[in-house]
Chain A
Amino acid sequence: MSSHPSTTEEIKTVGDLPVEKIDKTEDYRIYAAISYFVILIVIGLPLWWKTTEVYRVPLPYTRIAALNESDFVLVTNVTIASLDIDRGKQLASDLDNFFKTSKLFKVHFVVTQVQKQILASAQSIQALELSSVSRRQAGDILLLEVPGLPRFTPSQVLVGRRRIVYFATDTSSVKLTEVLQQWLFQEETLQRMISSMVSPTKSELDLAGRRRMPTASAYDVMVTIVNPDPEKVQLNWDLQEAIENFLSPFLRNLAPLADYNVKSQWLYFVPLQVQPKLVPEQPGIRKHFALSEELLPHIITPLEKKLASHVSQNPCLNFVVYVPPCSESPLYIYRQEGVILRGGVNAFLSPRWGGIIIHNPPQDICDNTTVVEPKPVEADWSKIMGTFLAQLRLLVGVPELDDIPRVSMLPLAASGMRQWELDSLYRVRIMEQLTSAMLTLQSLSQLLGEISNIVIDDEVGDSIQEAVSAVERGIELLHQGNLLAAFEASKQAFLSAEAAFTDPSLLALLYFPDDQKYAVYIPLFLPVMIPVLMSLKNIYLWAASKVRHKGKEKVD
């Protein structure tokens, strides 16, 4: 303004022009000022704002926020089959009382009467397992009273391979609750998993949770045979066949939960990074080498270099067979000073990583000097693969259960999984995936609120929508007690939420700094906007004078 001092002076009448004409041109001038204002500020500014805006698809923020309120409840049907219907009803009401306090489980008890001849005709528990009674929907449980249970087992309660719990007539409801809570439902584990996900700083996972691999849609299983000295030991093993015979049937069982790709490799000249301690020959003890359990993590480090994959993004479960040469065998893992690892199983498990087994060459081959080096060593596949299967069960999330007095379970079948174990694995995965999807969505919506530069394109928007509705659908299906469908929904929710959160397009404009924007805009906007904004005052004064003029005319 100061650059035009002559125009700062207010309007004055000029002798030559008539007053009306002056007023008229004055009006035009004001109209011009108004039109500048309208074009630049009313139209231009929003247009600029709109065109330079970060693209963002409208998102269901309220639904995402509402997910927090919704409760994950696992509805489970438990059928109590008793010979005496009244006793069954009594049991059901007792059990119902116990489960009322449960936060995660909502158990519906149904009481039926069981025909005596069905039980009487069964020669063994195995026969009952195979009978028509045993077919249950996934997630459901049958509590079956078997009067003659002591005929088959010393235990009071016997948990089958399918979804049946057999109990003797004199079993108390407390014992049954204990079995359901600790073995079949594993509510404690579920609860700890959820709370550790929601507030990781406050609570920790339990042992089973720490061992279990984090959820993913596919896993790689890699079996590695390490021969540190092929000059001394020759392994002529058909690894591929062993995998096909032992691991594949078990993994086929797990196929509905996730895909498992089995790979194998041989590594040579990969030594132990640690030096095992020589235990000299003593009366009763042969000469051997000792590897302390505390040193075991150091074994994994040199192996890691050769275990990584350059193409697969799936989490990998590693199983390693280490065959020490004769000069360093037998090699045993020591739990503490002087205590060999339990059960003579020369193996250890590394949580969320895999397992290692040490396969010592047989002593007679090592001692036999007529056998020339490299000495052929045969594989004890049932021992090696048996150990791997046990470790694999823990890694995929089937926990070791605490003993309950006078309760036992039928031994594992060849498939390596009990149906109720699979059900509880489903529950763990559903809970994990739903919680994870919910947390991911919430952190994404929080992030979007905080950082304005994040782009959400149509594809990511669709993923988010998909994830939200899948979480809602999952919760709904859990209420209906449909475990398998709920698992599918939770998997969908988890994958969509992860895909949305990790989409690279989110970061497209994140590093476009604000100061660059201003450096470009200010040279234009500042000199143009100041006169336009200053003219607002003139417009206001003119409008005010008009109003007053009119008021005066009216008064006149």
Chain B
Amino acid sequence: MVCFILVPFWILNVGQCLVQKDRFDEELLLKPLPSGHVYAYFQFTTVWDAPSGPQMFQHCHLFPRALGEVAGRHNVQELHVTLTEGLWRYEYWGFPVSDAAPGAELWTWFRNDTKDVDNIWKKLTGALSGLLCASLNFIGTPNSLSPEYSFRPTGVVKNSNLNSSFVRYATLPREIVCTENLTPWKKLLPCDSKKGFASLLNAGHIHNTNYHSLGLHIRPVCKDAKCTEVSIELRQTVSLVYDMMILGFQNQDWSLRKLFGLGLSGPCPLATSSFIYVDVTSNETGTPYQLQPEPTEVITSIRGGYESKFKVYNIQKMSFTHMLNIVATYSTPKVYAVNVPPVLYASRYIVGYGQERGGIVTKIHNNHWKHLDIIYLENIPWFLPIYLHTLRVVAGGKEITPILKKYVPGKERSRPYSLEVLLRIPARSVTEIYIEFDYVFLKWQEYPPDANHGFYIGSAIISAYLPVGKNYMGLPQAGPTIYSSFNASREGFLLQLRTESLIITLPTPDFSMPYNVICLACTVVALAFGPLHNITTKRLCMKDGNSCNGLLIRLKSMLFKGRKPQAQAH
């Protein structure tokens, strides 16, 4: 891949520390969504000019040592972990800054010199599981893919021939994200949650949201414009979507205090920059709102032909006599316009009946005036065998032939089914991707306890290179900060959509059956054996009518059986 030129906007700022070769930036983006929700996106970026070599992560300053040790020990080049609760509704909310699949999602590029990737991957997931208190340790080879096209490195790569055997991708759609994940996540920040934006992240005001997602992204980036040396970038993100109505505020007005429970007491003193951006683009078209206090700056960003307006609060330049509370008030009650969905979005569901066969349907909506090329990645666990010959792609009643298909069939208990389809979807259309699968029986210990949701199937991923910047909020590849995404027009904008995860119920046998079978089979054998043994070792014979009649004599004969042969021997 290409080395992306990184021109950091902070080059003019004189670094706070001269000896320490790292910097930390904190940012918060607030955006009222057209559906009436409020989107809050936190991003904490640490860039570290780490010395390369085996001792790379031994001496840490702002970079969290615990995470650095994990990444260094496991030969990680790029690491992306997200822990998400809820589903991002692309149709109503547009695109987020960073996408995440429901539950836990982890993808990693290992360095080219890594030996025994599967083993290291297992160890890495174990270590991360301890670090983030998530069940990532359940990720292993049986549920990991090595996608060829969907996951390319996001950072700098030394040589351009990439080998997809060094990438691993896995999801745990059932993972439930809660406070126990947030606390260790916050511990990785240099200011912890004592100062700066992280002090706004209080569990009580995060877990009442419609959608929340924690993210950790490590990647190598260029140290300077020449890109002769490489730095390590760590991006810690939190995405939150609040519904002001269900939070009980009766109106659409929002403020920092309403969203996070308290105001901001000041920037993190270790941060090089602390910015809050409020997206006021919707003021031009929809119901306008006023912001209190006045921002320090207003930025107009034109990106991919679409203009957006941001009010910027430079927290480091503001004086803090009391807690800062940014308040947005609507002068008139908000009027909801007709929803204009974004260029591309998708939904997915299960079809079929009975407990034998089923199908998965993914509907991809293209609202662009031109056709779009997309990569569709299907991640199906091994217990749901899919049939490639049943794959049908239909758009507007016409069948489309995929440009390219990459299918890795699954293996029971050792490999999931991985399907990547490269498609050209027509303009203004709904494309349906359909594939059939079988329901299978598992081994008796693989079934969950009786009270269960069912079996989860992770989201499909749709990657596209959007030609327009409408609704697009993602970060440009070269810049790590939100600031760098302003006016960052490119030829295309990389978008990765995650669909819904699915739940199915597998046919469940009666678990007392094996024991019953054992007992029954043993009884049959024993019943067969008894007569057989008797016939071959004993003889049926007539008895003299007078020799034994009456119970007493029979008892006597039984008791003194031993004497009889003696009598017979004579």
A: which residues have CB within 8 A of B?
A: 3-4, 6-12, 14, 25-26, 29-30, 32-33, 36, 230-231, 234, 236-240, 243, 261-266, 268-270, 305-306, 308-312, 374, 519-520, 523-524, 526-528, 531-532, 535, 538, 541, 545, 548-549
A519 CB contacts on chain B under 8 angstroms? 515
Check: B414 CB closer than 8 A to any chain A CB: no
**Closest Cβ–Cβ distance, residue B266 to chain A (whole Å):** 9
Sorted nearest first, the 5 A-B pairs with minimum C-beta distance are: A527-B526, A523-B522, A524-B522, A33-B537, A269-B194
- Does B187 lie within 8 Å of A268, measured CB to CB? no
- Does A238 lie within 8 Å of B19, measured CB to CB? yes
**Closest Cβ–Cβ distance, residue B549 to chain A (whole Å):** 13
B519 CB contacts on chain A under 8 angstroms? 523
- Does A545 lie within 8 Å of B565, measured CB to CB? yes
Given contacts A7-B534, A29-B537, contact A265 B65 (CB under 8 A): yes
8 A-B pairs within 8 Å (CB atoms) are namely: A11-B539, A29-B536, A30-B537, A236-B20, A263-B58, A266-B61, A527-B530, A528-B525
What CA separation (Å) do A311 and B128 show in the bound complex? 9
Name A29's contact: one of B522, B530, B539, B544 (CB within 8 Å). Answer: B539
- Does A310 lie within 8 Å of B60, measured CB to CB? no
Given contacts A264-B59, A309-B66, A527-B530, contact A9 B537 (CB under 8 A): no
**Closest Cβ–Cβ distance, residue A377 to chain B (whole Å):** 13
Check: B465 CB closer than 8 A to any chain A CB: no
What CA separation (Å) do A30 and B526 show in the bound complex? 21
- Does A528 lie within 8 Å of B131, measured CB to CB? no
Which has the most chain B C-beta neighbours within 10 Å: A10, A311, A520, A541?
A311
What CA separation (Å) do A374 and B192 show in the bound complex? 19
- Does B195 lie within 8 Å of A269, measured CB to CB? yes
B2 CB contacts on chain A under 8 angstroms? none
Check: B543 CB closer than 8 A to any chain A CB: yes
Given contacts A263-B65, A310-B66, contact A32 B191 (CB under 8 A): no
What CA separation (Å) do A541 and B565 show in the bound complex? 8
A308 CB contacts on chain B under 8 angstroms? 66
Check: B451 CB closer than 8 A to any chain A CB: no
- Does A236 lie within 8 Å of B19, measured CB to CB? yes
543-568 of chain B: CB within 8 A of chain A: 543-544, 548, 557-558, 561-562, 564-565, 568
Check: B335 CB closer than 8 A to any chain A CB: no
**Closest Cβ–Cβ distance, residue A373 to chain B (whole Å):** 10
Name B527's contact: one of A26, A243, A527 (CB within 8 Å). Answer: A527
- Does A269 lie within 8 Å of B192, measured CB to CB? yes
What CA separation (Å) do A535 and B534 show in the bound complex? 9
Check: B18 CB closer than 8 A to any chain A CB: yes
A548 CB contacts on chain B under 8 angstroms? 569
Check: B523 CB closer than 8 A to any chain A CB: yes
Given contacts A269-B195, A545-B569, contact A528 B538 (CB under 8 A): no
Name A231's contact: one of B269, B523, B533, B548 (CB within 8 Å). Answer: B269
**Closest Cβ–Cβ distance, residue A379 to chain B (whole Å):** 11
B74 CB contacts on chain A under 8 angstroms? 311
- Give 1 or 0 for each of B498-533: 1 = CB within 8 Å of chain A CB: 000000000000000001001100110111011001
Name A520's contact: one of B60, B127, B518 (CB within 8 Å). Answer: B518
- Does B542 lie within 8 Å of A264, measured CB to CB? no
- Does B538 lie within 8 Å of A29, measured CB to CB? yes
What CA separation (Å) do A526 and B130 show in the bound complex? 50
What CA separation (Å) do A36 and B538 show in the bound complex? 13
Check: B298 CB closer than 8 A to any chain A CB: no
Check: B541 CB closer than 8 A to any chain A CB: yes
Given contacts A36-B533, A311-B69, contact A264 B60 (CB under 8 A): yes
Which has the most chain A C-beta neighbours within 10 Å: B69, B127, B543?
B69
Whose C-beta in chain B lies nearest to the C-beta of A306? B187
A374 CB contacts on chain B under 8 angstroms? 269
Which has the most chain A C-beta neighbours within 10 Å: B131, B529, B538, B542?
B538
Whose C-beta in chain B lies nearest to the C-beta of A35? B536
A243 CB contacts on chain B under 8 angstroms? 59
A10 CB contacts on chain B under 8 angstroms? 561, 564-565, 568
- Does A310 lie within 8 Å of B61, measured CB to CB? no
What CA separation (Å) do A100 and B261 show in the bound complex? 78
Whose C-beta in chain A lies nearest to the C-beta of B71? A311
- Does B538 lie within 8 Å of A7, measured CB to CB? yes
B529 CB contacts on chain A under 8 angstroms? 527-528, 531
B518 CB contacts on chain A under 8 angstroms? 520, 523
Which has the most chain B C-beta neighbours within 10 Å: A239, A310, A374, A528?
A310
What CA separation (Å) do A538 and B537 show in the bound complex? 9
A535 CB contacts on chain B under 8 angstroms? 533, 537
- Does A263 lie within 8 Å of B541, measured CB to CB? no
107-137 of chain B: CB within 8 A of chain A: 127, 130-131
What CA separation (Å) do A311 and B527 show in the bound complex? 59
Whose C-beta in chain A lies nearest to the C-beta of B51? A240
What CA separation (Å) do A549 and B565 show in the bound complex? 12
What CA separation (Å) do A264 and B68 show in the bound complex? 12
- Does A531 lie within 8 Å of B534, measured CB to CB? yes
B59 CB contacts on chain A under 8 angstroms? 239-240, 243, 263-265
What CA separation (Å) do A9 and B543 show in the bound complex? 8
**Closest Cβ–Cβ distance, residue A154 to chain B (whole Å):** 46
What CA separation (Å) do A12 and B543 show in the bound complex? 8
A538 CB contacts on chain B under 8 angstroms? 537
- Does A230 lie within 8 Å of B66, measured CB to CB? no
- Does B537 lie within 8 Å of A14, measured CB to CB? no
A264 CB contacts on chain B under 8 angstroms? 58-60
4-20 of chain B: CB within 8 A of chain A: 17-20
Check: B215 CB closer than 8 A to any chain A CB: no
A238 CB contacts on chain B under 8 angstroms? 19
- Does A311 lie within 8 Å of B65, measured CB to CB? no
Name B62's contact: one of A7, A14, A266, A311 (CB within 8 Å). Answer: A266
A520 CB contacts on chain B under 8 angstroms? 515, 518
Given contacts A310-B127, A523-B523, A523-B526, contact A4 B534 (CB under 8 A): yes
A14 CB contacts on chain B under 8 angstroms? 541-542
- Does A236 lie within 8 Å of B569, measured CB to CB? no
Name A311's contact: one of B58, B70, B526, B543 (CB within 8 Å). Answer: B70
B195 CB contacts on chain A under 8 angstroms? 269
Which has the most chain B C-beta neighbours within 10 Å: A243, A264, A524?
A524
A33 CB contacts on chain B under 8 angstroms? 536-537
Given contacts A311-B69, A523-B519, contact A531 B131 (CB under 8 A): no
Name A310's contact: one of B69, B270, B548 (CB within 8 Å). Answer: B69
What CA separation (Å) do A312 and B127 show in the bound complex? 10
20 extra interface residue pairs, beta carbon distance < 8 Å, beyond A10-B564, A36-B536, A524-B525: A7-B534, A9-B541, A9-B548, A10-B565, A32-B537, A33-B537, A236-B19, A243-B59, A263-B65, A265-B61, A266-B60, A266-B62, A308-B66, A310-B69, A523-B523, A524-B522, A526-B526, A531-B530, A545-B565, A548-B569
